[in-house]
Amino acid sequence: MHSMNVTVGGLDLELALNFGAAREIAQKVGDPLGIAREAALEAMMSQAGIVHQPKWVPTVDNVPMILWIGAKHGGSTVKIEAVQDAVFAHGFLESKGVALDYLACIVTPSARERSEAGGNAEAGE
């Protein structure tokens, strides 16, 4: 199984990089391709000094949901409440970055290869 290991708020999660996780994220949160595209566009516009209002916005509900779905498809039995608590402890902005990195790994083969090569996407380092 292709996966990405992260630590959020002291909670270690193995997030699955597979179609099942991508599909459930699409059903419950938003299409991972669209979310990744919006994040990339927002970053480019910000670097250029242009304010961009993205079509998809991370929230206190959808950031933990993305991470929980990835963990669930990675074989974890962690409860959504535990992921929510971990996201709160880690900080929403830092956790947003972890979730967006995870989505980038789902939609970009080169990002998956980097993750599999031993890159631990541990946030806050």
* pLDDT tens digits, 89-110: 999 999 999 999 999 999 987 6
Q: Is the pTM of this model over 0.75?
A: yes
User: Is residue 125 pLDDT above 60, yes or no?
Assistant: no
Band (pLDDT 50/70/90 cuts) for residue 122 is very low
Q: How far is CA 4 from CA 28, 46, 50, 64, in A?
A: 20, 27, 32, 16
Residue 83 scores a pLDDT above 70: yes
Could you give the 3-state DSSP secondary structure of residue 14?
strand
The tokens describing 15, both together, are 């997030």
Instruction: Name the band, by pLDDT with cuts 50, 70 and 90, for residue 121.
Output: very low
